[in-house]
């Protein structure tokens, strides 16, 4: 069921715009000068994820000090690598710092990070996300949360008080997790999808959307260097589409045959061959690139009426590496007006 929503510039509920930290061509200490200008550049939110490199919380804490009017968002924190009480404490603490509120995205992540990098068993992801969600939402309401849960053998936990400005959304791709997100959470963030994939994803949600968030994460590279774009795009997209979560997602979307050769080469250990076998149209749909104007027009295609927020994950390119001082102007140009 699709609830009506406003477009990017008019109506009572305009789409919120955010950027993912860390930003390209800048060290974390250098982010302050950029983050302080984001609101004037037309951005409402800052986002983090957690995989390789920076953790998902430290950049948000810094943002709260630099630009407390921005909403602090995670997209997502893995439910396996932090206990639910720690996740709730994190949202509770950030909410005290950020006037713009907190949108806490949690999800299963991928086995390569959960088990491969952290040594934690990646088991029953749907149930683990569900159990963590119920624990965290209850705690943020100020309730005494008592266990055990089916996948988390905890005893009890309670925060000192409620955190009403903190909302919880789920990283969700397919009907089961999406239904959980729109029945028990405050919505969902979805990613690694092309603009034309949004309608079937949204149509599969067996729950009302009104009053909840639907965030789409768009990966983009503001560069017109064809060699750089092809190399970076194929490396990123090929890796992601061979992670079990996203491989299954794109098979569900109907790309199984289109990606079969790429997947087979990856499974055979031929990573270079897998990158070469990635169809260019899939690369371009999942790794939006070109001039800022060209990217802006492609990003506009993601503005489905049900979308409430967009998270731009910006890759670096030769142009930004040569002129990092242009980053704020580039970011502003990526955002449709």
Identify the pLDDT of residue 9.
46
The tens digit of pLDDT for each residue in 151-200 reads 999 999 999 999 999 999 999 999 999 999 999 999 999 999 999 999 99
Query: Residue 337: which pLDDT band, with cuts at 50, 70 and 90?
Result: confident
Query: Residue 50: which pLDDT band, with cuts at 50, 70 and 90?
Result: very high
Identify the pLDDT of residue 11.
46
Residue 107 Cα distances to 22, 128, 247, 301, 333, angstroms:
20, 9, 17, 26, 31
CA distance 109 to 304: 25
Query: What DSSP designation does 168 have?
Result: E
The tens digit of pLDDT for each residue in 247-264 reads 999 999 999 999 999 999
Region 201-206: mean pLDDT is 97
Cα angle 185, 169, 119 (rounded to 5 degrees) comes to: 110
Which helix (H) or strand (E) is 283 found in, with range?
Answer: helix 280-286
Please say whether the beta carbons of 35 and 63 come within 8 A. Answer: yes
The tens digit of pLDDT for each residue in 52-110 reads 799 999 999 999 999 999 999 999 999 999 999 999 999 999 999 999 999 999 999 99
Please say whether the beta carbons of 229 and 289 come within 8 A. Answer: yes
Q: What percent of the chain has pLDDT over 70?
A: 96
Average pLDDT, the chain: 96
Residue 7 has pLDDT above 60, yes or no: no
CA distance 23 to 136: 29
Helix, strand, coil % (nearest 5) of the chain?
45, 15, 40
Residue 3 has pLDDT above 90, yes or no: no
Query: What DSSP designation does 116 have?
Result: I
Right CATH for 16-224+290-334 from 3.40.50.10490, 2.40.50.140, 1.10.3720.10, 3.20.20.30: 3.20.20.30
Region 323-334: mean pLDDT is 98
- DSSP assignment of 49-105: --SSSS-SSHHHHHHHHH-TTSEEEEEEEESSSS-HHHHHHHHHHHHHH-TT-EEEE
Half-sphere exposure of 213 (CA within 13 A, CB side): 27
Query: Residue 1: which pLDDT band, with cuts at 50, 70 and 90?
Result: very low
The tens digit of pLDDT for each residue in 215-241 reads 999 999 999 999 999 999 999 999 999
């Amino acid at each position: 069921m699709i609830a009506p929503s406003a477009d990017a510039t008019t109506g009572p509920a305009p789409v919120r715009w955010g950027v993912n930290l860390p930003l390209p061509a800048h060290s974390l200490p250098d982010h302050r000068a950029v983050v302080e200008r984001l609101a004037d550049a037309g951005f409402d939110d800052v986002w983090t994820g957690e995989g390789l490199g920076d953790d998902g919380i430290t950049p948000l804490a810094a943002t709260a000090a630099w630009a407390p009017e921005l909403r602090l968002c995670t997209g997502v924190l893995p439910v396996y690598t932090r206990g639910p009480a720690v996740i709730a404490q994190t949202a509770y603490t950030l909410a005290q710092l950020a006037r713009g509120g907190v949108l806490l995205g949690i999800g299963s992540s991928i086995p390569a990070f959960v088990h491969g990098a952290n040594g934690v068993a990646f088991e029953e992801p749907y149930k683990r996300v569900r159990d963590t969600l119920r624990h965290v939402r209850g705690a943020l309401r100020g309730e005494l949360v008592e266990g055990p849960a089916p996948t988390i053998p905890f005893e009890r936990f309670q925060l000192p008080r409620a955190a009403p400005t903190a909302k919880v959304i789920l990283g969700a791709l397919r009907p089961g997790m999406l239904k959980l997100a729109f029945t028990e959470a405050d919505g969902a963030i979805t990613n690694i999808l092309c603009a034309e994939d949004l309608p079937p994803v949204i149509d599969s949600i067996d729950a009302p959307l009104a009053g909840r968030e639907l965030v789409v994460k768009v990966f983009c590279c503001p560069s017109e260097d064809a060699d750089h774009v092809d190399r970076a795009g194929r490396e990123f997209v090929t890796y992601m589409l061979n992670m079990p979560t996203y491989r299954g997602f794109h098979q569900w979307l109907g790309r199984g045959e289109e990606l079969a050769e790429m997947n087979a080469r990856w499974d055979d250990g031929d990573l270079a061959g897998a990158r070469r076998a990635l169809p260019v149209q899939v690369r371009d749909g999942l790794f939006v690139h070109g001039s800022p104007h060209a990217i802006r027009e492609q990003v506009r295609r993601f503005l489905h009426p049900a979308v409430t927020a967009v998270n731009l994950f910006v890759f670096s390119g030769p142009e930004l590496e040569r002129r990092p001082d242009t980053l704020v102007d580039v970011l502003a140009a990526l955002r449709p007006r």
